[in-house]
A and B are shown apart, each in its own frame.
Chain A
Amino acid sequence: MTTVLGVPLPAILGQLMLGLVNGSFYALLSLGLAVIFGLLGIVNFAHGAFYMLGAFAAYIGLQTFGVNYWFALLLAPLLVGLLGIGIERLFLRHLYRLDPLYGLLLTFGMALIAEGIMRDQFGASGKSYPVPELLRGVFDLGFMVLPIYRAWVVVASVTVCGMTWFLIERTRLGATLRAATENAQLVQAFGINVPLIVMGTYGAGVALAALAGVLAAPVVQVSPLMGSSLVIVVFAVVVIGGMGSIIGAILSGLVLGLIEGFTKVIYPEASNIVVFVIMAVVLIWRPAGLFGKE
């Protein structure tokens, strides 16, 4: 059979497929992070915790209230988004005037608290969340068998990313958002309620993380620690894409997922660090990130 760098082609294609799935998660999460940073200037270290809370919302919804997966896709981001809005209103609002480091510390602390509470309630090992009926089964692609659910994850993530990008870059609401971050006072002078927009934006970014959590629940087990390992990689992705750039976050997420998948076949030992190596290279070559504005 054909080989690339000594590895059979079906193996490579299989890993690339899985890499695409992982990349979709990276894209969705880094999109939320980029939205929050690009538009609000907050380094949201709690992003991984919101992802985890979204997954738990789906799990608790199913276990205690019988809310099925499809409702959870809508409800979990809504609930977690509201939580995010509450946090922005009560805590983050006071930190905008200060050094960004304070926002970082606050969100990091919140992440630890959220993780600790969930760990205390649910234990550290993963809870099982079943794949919804409609999405069970596999596609036989020849070189591998792809579970339908994973294909759905790619489709859903890319769609949501696309819609978000469109909303921000091509609609009036998005234009208002972008204007508000460029010059909040001027926009406020026009009579637009900037604090409300800011609050809503944070909620929306957080809701994206929660959506990623619900999508992830059937794939990885729902565990209080699921966010913390992922958020570091997501930060690297956002840095590579450019901290303020929406399109940068989406594309970097997908491409880096593919690169990670490729590395897993060629040189598995490096697969955990390849994203960071790329981040280092990009930062040296282009400090603002690939799509970032200086």
Chain B
Amino acid sequence: MKIQRFAILPCALFGLFAGSQAMAAGDQVVIGDIDDLSGVYADVAGQGAIEAVIMAIADFGGTVLGKKIVLLSVDHQNKPDIGASKFREWADQNGLNVLLGGSNTGVSIAMSKVAAAKKVPFFAIGAGGASLTGVDCTPYSVHYAYDTTALANGTASVIVKNGGKSWFFLTADYAFGTQLQDSATKVVLANGGKVLGAVRVPLGTTDFSSFLLQAQSSGAQVLGLANAGTDFSNSLKGATEFGITKTMTPAALLAFLSDIHSLTLPTAQGLYLTTGWYWDLNEETRAFGKRYFEKMKREPTMDQAGYYSAAMQYLKAVKAVGTTDSDQVMAELKKTKINDMFAKNGYIRADGLMIHTMYVMQVKKPAESKYPWDYYKVIKVMSGEEAFGSQPDPTCPLIKK
């Protein structure tokens, strides 16, 4: 009897709190951000992406359908199990309505499975792997800013057409690297080139010297860097240090503004890269860049701008259908044209891929750069269909054959 009396009070308090938690979730629209906040991709999206979403929420007005918009964020540390379990936890306990995130294809693939299981929309913004809208596609995933197919169609085809016929790949040893290598290989072979070899490098390697030496001894004309973030900048620095860039052309298959900034123009000049967005493209992008710069003291990368745009598009879709019900919101997203500072005439295809204009850029020489962060010149503008392919990936189960 004593035990029962003792137990009543804590149970009642617990019940009160548990109840209030559930009530709070229903009153809010919860946006989640699971990304790499401290590892190799931390500068590409990371903290800046969180700021971008905060800007989007503020610009939207802070509430939607009368409910307060709340942002949760966590560091996935490039570990798929952390990303997936946090997503699940937020979906179960915090009333998560939409997840933005990725920056690591492996983690994003794991999270897309959770999106399908929990029926929560997931915008994969930082990740590159084309399989996210291929064999790993789900009805609730949107692949937003770019993918490995577009990168290969942009950068690889420009380099092969300029004479870089023989390639050796330095590939990050996980889903993103291998998918990027595959896409680039397809483009190289289709344009009459050949791949002399490849080496897989663990994610987060800092000293690439032995891998670079292997690349050099292959005798290939092009050093295909199928990696990103600090992996990319470290491998390029290593290639420069060992004089490899004198005999091989580096192909920056995925490079962001943050990487070029840390490499500095003397090292990065002349590199070709493909991007979906650049702060200095037009008045709208410059305006966003300026606002972002005031907060972060850096210009935004494609991913960070992508986070802003994705958050806005989601909130607009919710407002349009009058509910946060995932199926209705996804249907609305897939039938709306995207016209904002991030993309013009963009649309989300049946497989979840956001088709929009992609740009092949070349990094300016130091003498050509007139003001801070003036790093790129546009070499080629690719329509969405040209960059991403005119047909959805047939391996995606959502595509009816």
Contacts and interface: CB of A to CB of B under 8 A. Distances in A.
Given A15-B213, A18-B210, A221-B234, 13 more contacts: A8-B217, A123-B42, A124-B38, A125-B38, A131-B241, A138-B241, A138-B243, A144-B213, A144-B216, A146-B242, A220-B207, A223-B206, A264-B210
Given A18-B213, A138-B243, A268-B199, A125 B42 contact: yes
Interface residues of B, number: 25
Contacts of B241: 131, 138, 147
B38 A138 contact: no
Interface centre among B39, B229, B241 (most CB of A within 10 A): B241
Interface centre among A11, A124, A261, A264 (most CB of B within 10 A): A124
Contacts of B230: 125-126, 221
Contacts of B206: 126, 220-221, 223, 226
A10 B217 CA distance: 8
Nearest to A21: B209
B242 A11 contact: no
A144 B242 contact: yes
A11 B38 contact: no
Interface centre among B38, B42, B43, B217 (most CB of A within 10 A): B217
Nearest to A136: B241
Contacts of B210: 15, 18, 261, 264, 271
Contacts of A124: 38-39, 42, 77
Interface of B: 37-40, 42-43, 77, 199, 204, 206-207, 209-210, 213-214, 216-217, 229-230, 234, 241-244, 262
B153 to A, nearest CB: 29
A277 interface: no
Contacts of B234: 126, 221
Contacts of B77: 124
Interface residues of A, number: 32
A146 B217 CA distance: 14
A140 B246 CA distance: 13
Interface string A204-228: 0000000000000001110101100
B213 A11 contact: yes
A261 B209 CA distance: 11
A119 B38 contact: yes
Contacts of A68: none
13 contacts: A11-B213, A15-B213, A124-B77, A125-B40, A125-B42, A125-B43, A138-B242, A140-B243, A147-B242, A220-B207, A221-B234, A264-B210, A265-B214
Contacts of B229: 125
Given A18-B209, A223-B206, A268-B199, A145 B242 contact: yes
A128 interface: yes
A14 interface: yes
A247 to B, nearest CB: 27
Contacts of B207: 219-220
B94 to A, nearest CB: 25
A29 B368 CA distance: 46
Interface in A111-140: 119, 123-126, 128, 131, 138, 140
Given A124-B77, A145-B243, A14 B38 contact: no
